[in-house]
Copies of this chain bind each other. A is one copy, B any other.
Amino acid sequence: MDAKRVKHILDGVKDGTIPVDEALEELARLPFTDIGLAVVDHHRSLRTGFPEVVLGEGKTATQIAAIVTELRRGRGNVLVTRVAPALADAVRAAVPDMEHRLEARALVLKQAEVARMGHGPIAIVTAGTSDIGVAEEAALVAELAGNEVVRMFDVGVAGIHRLFHRLDDLRRASVIVVAAGMEGALASVVGGLVSCPVIAVPTSVGYGASFGGVAALLGMLSTCAAGVTVVNIDNGFGAGYAAALMNRVGRAHGAK
């Protein structure tokens, strides 16, 4: 997987410093730990300087605590996403030094300083007040990955002057995340106003024919504005993560 490492092993085999069997085993071993219920992977974090991330939803507090305990050994920051309040409390009973970010539905274990890595600010925009939870999840990931974040909440298209009021901030951003439910039109409008990548996050805000975010999702995928890409419904994490990657394109970021 890692060409340099393979070369090193092969050199060792050639030199006789690494026996063949050990080399074979080494080739299969990569920086992860199998703790039974999960294969804890230090790989990506080492590679990217991003926090380790655990999807909390669908896991028990015991499972989360076990995984976090393993991950903290990597000395990086650890982020647990989609954690309902009761689950957060249960995890913190086991790992008390995690911080609960209620609005973002997340737990954070801060072990390391975060260096600024992005080119410019990432703007995180919502159509309404109810989209703020998703937006804060995106903001948290982006900040933990070393980005300046600018928030613009409740600037949906039904009162479009609210958006224009923030046009300067929008145009200063390197990357923009737009979280919107209902018809999700804000992503298209923003996409038409700027020249940077726009990441659209449909939210499950709305009722009836919104179908839990499907209307916004389809609208964002069908957008008439070029330069807009889309993540899953309510996937603030994915939007923030992708925004952080986009904001580092062209920058040295350690060995891949």
Tell me which residues across on chain B come within 8 A of A130, comparing CB atoms: 55, 57-59
Q: Is A86 an interface residue (CB 8 A)?
A: no
Assuming the contacts A28-B165, A183-B218, asked whether A158 and B48 have C-beta atoms less than 8 A apart, the reply is no
15 A–B contacts from the bound complex (CB under 8 Å)? A39-B162, A44-B159, A58-B128, A119-B250, A158-B192, A158-B223, A174-B249, A183-B185, A185-B223, A195-B253, A207-B235, A208-B233, A215-B215, A228-B231, A229-B242
Q: Is A154 an interface residue (CB 8 A)?
A: yes
Apart from A1-B167, A185-B223, A195-B256, list 8 A-B contacts with CB within 8 A. A3-B167, A7-B20, A39-B153, A195-B253, A215-B215, A215-B218, A228-B238, A249-B250
Could you give, for residues 208-239 of chain A, a 1 whenever the CB lies within 8 Å of some chain B CB and a 0 otherwise? Answer: 11110111111111111111111111110110
B250 touches A219 (CB 8 A): no
Find A197's partner among B10, B193, B246, B251 (CB 8 Å cutoff).
B246
B247 touches A183 (CB 8 A): no
Most buried by B among A27, A28, A175: A28
Bound-complex Cα distance A205 to B184 (A): 18
Question: Which of A30-38, A91-99, A106-114 sits within the interface?
Answer: A30-38
Copy number in this complex?
A: 8
B10 touches A24 (CB 8 A): yes
Give the residue name and chain of the B residue nearest to A8 (CB): B20
